[in-house]
Amino acid sequence: MRLSARNILKGKVVALTRGATTTHVKVEVVDGMVVTASITNEAADDLGLAVGIDAAAIIKASDVMIGVDA
């Protein structure tokens, strides 16, 4: 598979929280760093997501915001 996104973070699924229409998927990409994605339940089912499987968080965004405490 080839993607236009350049930010591909490989890791493992550490948690799945299924809601009425969406599933929140937590992928640990390095020890202690977790990326969370909100995807449709249908997509989660189609991907066969389960805790412990290898997965990648693929990020494509035109904006990245930075915050600091003032």
Q: Please write down the long-range contacts of 26-30, taking CB distance under 8 Å and 24 or more positions apart.
A: 27/55, 27/56, 27/57, 29/57
Task: State the pLDDT confidence band at 60, using cuts at 50, 70 and 90.
Answer: confident
Phi, psi dihedral angles at 2 (to 5 degrees): -115, 140
Q: Which residues are CB-neighbours of 28 under 8 A, at least 6 positions away?
A: 11, 12, 14, 34
pLDDT, tens only, 3-47: 888 889 999 999 999 999 999 999 999 999 999 999 999 999 999
State yes or no: pLDDT of 62 exceeds 90.
no
Alpha carbons within 13 A on the beta-carbon side of 55: 24
**Contact, 12 vs 52, CB < 8 A?**
yes
